[in-house]
């Protein structure tokens, strides 16, 4: 079914970097055989799933949409892949993204620009653009993305699907190619909230292979989708409906709040006073971490190596100069500068302090409220090419998703209307490890 649909639409959408048809068919057959023998079914038995190409998959090319990992076939599976195997999903292939997850439009992929299925002239968002577009186009039922500063929620919003960034530490990062380790989190992208809860159920849980993995009980998310939000307290930060947010987006959030109000929830305006510093803090910290994480791509250990080098140092330099794209180089330079001696205290350390204040803003709000609600992105999907020459405008697009990563709390994007034929997303943010409440609100609204 999946491959039939892929044949029909993939030429236009271009969501996949690698398709794994032969193995997918063999796996589906093996599952059928198992069923015929009367054995039990896994949680997601037979469900076709696509995987963002920064999650390592054993013997299945994993490029991070970078030239530097052009022919990289990992020798092990990420922990989430093992969990999907237990749940009995069928992996269809690997999905396009911005190179090393740096970007908001998929235009930073070395290979291709995925298109938004709702309007092929617009971007699908990023960096998990392939993950969101493939679900929206019906090529797969589920996909996995990763979210460091909005990369699951923003593309979900642009493509009209449901995308969850779980609490930092809820899903193992073992086998997720690191961009900014203190912010990265894997999460599910699906058509419905219920599907999303099922997929998170399958991939969440403690993992001794990831030292930042949380040892917490995983509740039964699906059983908590009661539709009941009576008496629930919603905080709406005034910073999330202010300057830069388009009129249609603001209107769609107010409409959503009306719906939730009718269902018995109450909302009030609040303030996240430090959110104005979130963008600067995020780009400084994430680039610093990226500059350290990406040091491992040196032409020796994996992937691409330059053809003409005079000596070892020359080989390192040329490999990296030829292998990384523009945006990745920009972040490595920014991060290396921020971490260099003499600047560390002024930039990196200061950004860490501001990050703490941003987290405290959320802690204060969750003392009195159950969820925080706002838009996922300031506008609907923009046109391919519209922002690519202006990195700062592209960065500014992440203003509403980034505070959530800095605070480490969970956030979901659910479809909440259209503007000019393009979907809009509502962002629902919860307290640490309170994915259940986030899902409950999203489900009641859906
Ligand atoms: N767009 C943001 C960035 O470019 C977020 C990326 C992400 O969440 N991986 O860094």
Residue 151 is a catalytic residue: yes
Contact 24, 50 (CB under 8 A): no
3-state SS, residue 250: helix
Residue 102 CB–ligand 1 contact under 6 Å? yes
Ligand 1 atom closest to Cα of residue 283: 10
Output the pLDDT for position 238: 96
Neighbours of 423 (CB within 10 A): 23
Is the ipTM of this structure higher than 0.90?
A: yes
Question: Can you tell me the distance from the alpha carbon of 202 to that of 88, in angstroms, rounded to the nearest whole number?
Answer: 10
Alpha carbon distance 315, 320 (integer Å) = 8
* Pocket residue to mutate for ligand 1, from 104, 147, 181, 334, most atoms within 8 A of Cβ: 104
pLDDT per residue over 171-205, tens digit each? 999 999 999 999 999 999 999 999 999 999 999 99
Atom of ligand 1 nearest to the CA of 394: 1
Atom of ligand 1 nearest to the CA of 152: 8
> Could you identify the atom of ligand 1 that is nearest to the CA of residue 286?
10
- Taking the centre of ligand 1 as the mean of its atom positions, its distance from the CA of residue 385, in whole angstroms, is 18
Write the residue with the smallest CA distance to atom 10 of ligand 1.
102
CA 293 to each of CA 179, 288, 336, 396, 400: distance values in angstroms, whole numbers, following the listed order: 6, 9, 11, 24, 25
Cα 175 to middle of ligand 1, angstroms:
18
Pocket test for ligand 1, best of 65, 99, 100, 102 (most atoms within 8 A of CB): 102
Which of 124, 282, 286, 387 has most ligand 1 atoms within 8 Å of CB, for mutation? 286
Residue 293, both tokens: 């994480």
Collect all residues with Cβ–Cβ distance below 8 Å to 74 and sequence separation of at least 6. Answer: 56, 57, 58, 59, 60, 62, 175
Residue positions counted in the chain: 446
CA 80, 81, 85, 88 torsion-angle sign: positive
Question: 143 alpha carbon to ligand 1 midpoint, in Å?
Answer: 18
CA 314 to chain centre: 35
Closest by Cα among 198, 206, 196 to 174: 206
Q: Is 335 in the pocket of ligand 1 (CB under 6 A)?
A: no
What pLDDT score does 68 carry?
A: 97
Q: Please, what is the end-to-end C-alpha distance for the chain in angstroms? A: 26
What is the residue-wise DSSP string for 315-383?
A: HHHHHHHHHS-HHHHHHHHHHHHHHSTTTTIIIIIHHHHHHHHHHHHHHHHHHH-SEEEEESSSSSPPB
Q: Which of 130, 174, 137, 121 has the alpha carbon at shortest distance from 151?
A: 130
- Measured in angstroms, how far is the CA atom of residue 434 from the centroid of ligand 1? 23
Question: Catalytic: which of 2, 131, 143, 151?
Answer: 151
> How far is Cα 205 from Cα 215, in angstroms, rounded to an integer?
7
Residue 52 designated active-site = yes
Local mean pLDDT, 10-residue blocks, the chain (446 residues) = 96 98 98 92 97 98 97 96 98 98 98 98 98 98 98 98 98 98 98 98 98 97 96 97 93 98 98 96 98 96 92 97 98 96 92 98 98 97 95 91 98 97 98 98 96
- Per-residue pLDDT, 39: 87
Determine the 3-state secondary structure of 200 from DSSP: helix
One-character DSSP codes across 151-170: TTHHHHHHHT-EEEEPPTTS
Give the pLDDT confidence score for residue 341 in this predicted structure. 87
Residue (of 129, 2, 118, 113) closest to 53 by Cα position: 129
129 lines ligand 1 (CB under 6 A): no
DSSP string, 48-87: EEEEETTB-BTTB---TT-GGGTT---SS--HHHHHHHHH
Cβ neighbours of residue 196 closer than 8 Å, sequence gap 6 or more: 162, 163, 164, 188, 189, 190, 412, 439, 442
* Ligand 1 neighbour 127 (Cβ under 6 A): yes
82 lines ligand 1 (CB under 6 A): no
Indicate which residue of 2, 66, 105, 127 is catalytic: 127
Confidence (pLDDT) at 67: 98
Task: Please pick, among 27, 52, 83, 165, the residue that the annotation labels catalytic.
Answer: 52
Give residue 441 CA to ligand 1 midpoint distance, Å: 26
The question of whether 340 is a catalytic residue gets the answer no
């Amino acid at each position: 079914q999946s491959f039939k649909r892929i044949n029909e639409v993939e030429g236009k959408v271009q969501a996949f970097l690698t398709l794994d048809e032969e193995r997918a068919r063999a796996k589906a057959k093996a599952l059928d055989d198992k069923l015929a023998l009367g054995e039990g079914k896994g949680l997601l038995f037979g469900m076709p799933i696509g995987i963002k190409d920064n999650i390592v998959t054993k013997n299945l090319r994993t490029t991070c949409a970078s030239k530097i990992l052009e022919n990289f076939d990992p020798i092990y599976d990420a922990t989430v892949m093992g969990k999907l195997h237990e749940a009995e999903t069928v992996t269809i292939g690997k999905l396009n993204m911005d190179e090393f997850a740096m970007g908001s439009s998929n235009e930073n992929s070395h290979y291709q620009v995925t298109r938004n299925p709702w309007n092929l002239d617009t971007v699908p968002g990023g960096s998990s653009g392939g993950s969101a577009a493939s679900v929206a186009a019906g090529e797969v039922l589920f996909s996995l993305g990763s979210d460091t500063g909005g990369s699951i929620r923003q593309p979900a919003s642009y493509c009209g699907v449901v995308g969850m960034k779980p609490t930092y530490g809820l899903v193992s990062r073992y086998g997720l190619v690191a961009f900014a380790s203190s912010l990265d989190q894997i999460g599910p992208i699906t058509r419905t909230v219920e599907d999303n809860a099922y997929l998170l159920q399958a991939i969440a849980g403690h993992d001794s292979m990831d030292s930042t993995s949380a040892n917490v009980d995983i509740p039964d998310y699906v059983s908590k989708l009661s539709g009941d939000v009576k008496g629930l307290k919603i905080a709406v930060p005034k910073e999330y409906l202010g300057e830069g947010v388009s009129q249609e987006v603001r209107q769609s959030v107010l409409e959503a709040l009306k719906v939730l109000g009718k269902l018995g929830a109450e909302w009030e305006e609040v303030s996240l006073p430090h959110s104005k510093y979130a963008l600067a803090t995020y780009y400084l910290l994430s680039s610093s971490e990226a500059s350290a994480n990406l040091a491992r791509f040196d032409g020796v250990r994996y992937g691409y190596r330059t053809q003409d080098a005079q000596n070892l140092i020359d080989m390192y330099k040329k490999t990296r100069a030829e292998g990384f794209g523009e945006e990745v180089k920009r972040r490595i330079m920014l991060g290396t500068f921020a971490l260099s001696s003499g600047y560390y205290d002024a930039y990196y350390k200061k950004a860490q302090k501001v990050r703490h204040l941003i987290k405290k803003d959320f802690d204060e709000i969750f003392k009195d409220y159950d969820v925080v609600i706002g838009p996922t992105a300031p506008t609907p999907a923009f046109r391919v090419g519209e922002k690519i020459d202006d990195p700062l405008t592209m960065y500014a697009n992440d203003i509403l998703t980034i505070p959530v990563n800095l605070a480490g709390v969970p956030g979901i994007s659910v479809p909440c209307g259209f503007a000019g034929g393009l979907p809009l997303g509502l962002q629902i943010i919860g307290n640490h490890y309170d994915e259940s409440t986030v899902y409950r609100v999203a489900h009641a609204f859906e």
